[in-house]
Structure 1
């Protein structure tokens, strides 16, 4: 049986059995039959609750503490999450399509993404009921080559089937959403990060840096020269009592981890 036939058989079996407990594991096996991958992850975003890791293949490189960083705030900077929430996009995308220029130079990449072990990634963003959505990530660690154009085309071609299976499963299996507005509060905290300390322009520069922009792309986004970007960054770092992009990232994460008691305004007001 060739890989397409094998995937078709797995999909056919799942159509009538989407409520089965092993549905997600079997769908992951389907992807593995279709393309070479050693990291399939399903991340569920329900309402405004924190993301739920429904399935992942291997213990994440960096351990549970690295996964905690993602779940407690770093996901707000994830290219797939941003593509789904800020740009309201759904479909199949390679990481290269949606990540900012210089992604590998960002602190999000250096501090979290590189520690996950991923070398290349593609995935689906699929709408569910009640504005929920699921991110199905298909990844390769450094032991494998990048996805080829042919493989990406193949995964995109089966998108209608994957969307149907995902909606059929998750819309039937209503999982508890937990704290229903914590993700909304965290997003609000991010939007107001530094507002009580920084000037408007300094805050804009800091936010763009956190979202993965380089000095050059910050310059382009704000229509100011590179030297001015560097000056605003220098002043912002001094006010935040930090010296590097790495310290900015951890200040952002630490302030968001205290978001449980956050109501409104700058999360740094009480944190610092």
Structure 2
């Protein structure tokens, strides 16, 4: 007597959908089809496919706004706000494949950061998950899923279950993705921005002060900055005080405003 099968109709539907998705690997609408498939199982409000690397992120595909156009706030992200993105920073620090939740990469005071206040809560809104595929030492293909509410444990578990399928399809798509072959735009230089003559800064920041400024803008606490730079928390405080004096400011919010001015 044959053994019982535990295959459900939902399993059959998933495998059928993946088969159909494979058929579109060389089609322009592949990423939209993948996002639509994932949305059947894990509701999302926005998505984007990026190449994280040494330069400015490359956008391969993104969800559209209600008018069918590109999200204007996301353009600010590409102009420089990505430098404050915890997912981007985590990938630059330790690039690897896998599924990453916001809680895995966000600093302990994330909701108090300018990145959260000026971009994340307005664009992504509540939660974000990335499925990353490391292409080589310098480049990572990343599928970002954003939601207006927190992803549930069940939804995250399901994404982890199907992540190998999704990652495999993402990697196979690279064969047909011409955008990946282009040389990425160089990333803006933090120290150059913070020393811009347009800001009328009287004294240039040292390399270490610029590093501290970047980590501050990313939402890192003094303790986290100390750990990342292998210096003491007291030394971090000294660098903060010096860079504030040099820039003629008194707060982290003022530092962020200088950063935005230097983008223009």
Secondary structure at 1:42's aligned position in 2?
strand
Query: Could you say what secondary structure the match of 2:204 adopts?
Result: coil
SS at match of 1:124: strand
Q: Matched residues in 1 for 2:92 and 2:39: separation? A: 28
- Equivalents in 1 of 2:56, 2:118: separation in Å? 24
Match of 1:77 among 66, 70, 84: 84
- Once the 2 structures are TM-superposed, how far is the Cα of residue 206 of structure 1 from its aligned partner? 1.9
Q: 1:170 aligned to 2:174?
A: yes
Alignment partner, residue 132 of structure 1: 139
What does 1:37-52 align with in structure 2 at a 5 Å threshold?
A: 37-45=44-52, 48-52=55-59
Q: Could you tell me how far apart the structure 2 residues matched to 1:24 and 1:8 are?
A: 18
> Does structure 1 retain, via aligned residues, the 8 Å contact 2:96–2:140?
no
* Shift in Å, 1:51: 2.5
Match of 1:190 in 2: 190
Which range moved further: 151-160 or 214-223? 214-223
1:223 aligns with 2:226: no
Distance 1:232 1:48 in 2: 27
Deviation per residue, 1:177-221 (Å, 9 max, x gap) = 65x3533x42xx126665862356544432320222124534565
Task: Give, in whole Å, the separation in 2 of the partners of 1:77 and 1:53.
Answer: 20
Matched residue pairs, number? 246
| Structure 2 gap segments, 5+ residues each | 1-7, 196-202
CA distances 1:78-118 after superposition (whole Å, capped 9, x unpaired): 12212222211221011101111111111111122122142
The alignment's TM-score, normalised by the length of structure 2, stands at 0.78
1:1-272 counterparts in 2 under 5 A? 5-45=12-52, 48-52=55-59, 54-58=61-65, 64-128=71-135, 131-141=138-148, 144=149, 146-175=150-179, 180=183, 182-183=185-186, 185-186=187-188, 189-190=189-190, 194=194, 197-199=204-206, 202-218=209-225, 222-225=231-234, 229-230=236-237, 232-255=239-262, 257=263
Note the aligned Cα RMSD (angstroms).
3.0
Residues 117 and 83 (structure 1 numbering): CA distance in 2 closer, same or farther, change over 3 Å?
closer
SS at match of 2:254: helix
Distance 1:81 1:220 in 2: 19
* CA-CA distance at 1:249 after TM superposition: 1.8
Contact 1:66 1:116 in 2 (8 A): yes
What is the CA distance between 1:72 and its match in structure 2? 0.9
Alpha-carbon spacing, 1:10–1:131, altered in 2? closer, same or farther (3 Å): farther
Scaled by the length of structure 1, the TM-score of the pair is 0.76
5+ unaligned residues in a row in structure 1: which ranges?
259-272
Give the deviation of 1:150 after TM superposition. Answer: 2.0
Quick one: structure 1 residues 128 and 246, their matched pair in 2 at CA, closer, same or farther if it must change by over 3 Å?
A: same
1:170 and 1:76 mapped to 2: Cα distance? 25
Distance of 1:250 and 1:8 partners within structure 2 = 49
